[in-house]
Structure 1
Amino acid sequence: MNAQSPPHPKRATLYRMVMVQHVCPYGLKAKDLLRRQGYEVEDRWLTTHEAVDAFKDEHQVKTTPQIFIEGQRIGGYDDLRRYFGKPVADPKATSYQPVIALFGMTLLIALATSLAMYGTPFTIRAGEWFIGSAWPYWRC
């Protein structure tokens, strides 16, 4: 009987900023993505601005985090997403989510106020409150 050895674990090295006043959110995202893809992560912290600058100079990169898989540099968080075949958000794309959230919250507040005042959320006054509250955002 031939005993099989366990599969070679997938390994990645992550260099990211972890400072007293700042922990890089993209470094955290990269670490999480690597773990979800089954990688053992060697998490190397860059704890000072001098260490970050020295790392960038040494590897000729402009940003951190930087991910290395089996010794090969993959790049930053967006590059890691591409490496795993995951979609990457277009930084130039227009997003209406903040606007929708803002008007949605304004509408909910107007409806809740109407419910508290008149016992029903759907009143003419609720519409007036919504328009009056949302008006400053429409002019932007």
Structure 2
Amino acid sequence: MAKVEIYTKFTCPYCFRAKSLLSKKGVDFDETEVSMGGEPKAEMIRRAGGRTTVPQIFIDGQHIGGSDDLAALDREGKLDPLLGL
């Protein structure tokens, strides 16, 4: 199964939606909380090509984007192959 990383903020509804979709698929993910900023948020921005919104999602090191991007991949039938399902 693919390695999934997600950068989130505690009160973010889009983060909750993305995590819910991944959980429904039975996918484990590494979550990094960036509400407090600092190095974790700077790392997220660097890895996401300057994007500052959350969530930012990576599958096997590939930047997927945010919650809407993840949902679009799922609707198009492209998410499961990326996840190795």
With structure 1 as the length reference, what TM-score do the two structures score? Answer: 0.46
Letter of the 2:68 partner, please give it. Answer: D
Greater relative contact order (CA < 8 Å, ≥ 6 in sequence): 2
In structure 2, which of residues 19, 25, 41 is the aligned counterpart of residue 31 of structure 1?
Answer: 19
- More helix per residue: 1 or 2? 1
Match of 1:115 in 2: none
List alignment gaps of at least 5 residues for structure 1.
Answer: 1-8, 87-140
Per-residue CA deviation, residues 66-99 of structure 1 (Å, 9 max, x unaligned), is 011111110000000011126xxxxxxxxxxxxx
What is the deviation of 1:49?
Answer: 3.7
In structure 2, which of residues 51, 61, 65 is the aligned counterpart of residue 75 of structure 1?
Answer: 65
With structure 2 as the length reference, what TM-score do the two structures score? Answer: 0.71
Larger gyration radius, structure 1 or structure 2: 1
List alignment gaps of at least 5 residues for structure 2.
Answer: 77-85
Q: How many residues align?
A: 74
Deviation above 6 Å: which 4+ runs of structure 1? none
Q: How does 1:38-49 map to 2 (within 5 A)?
A: 38-49=26-37
Q: Provide the aligned C-alpha RMSD in A.
A: 2.1
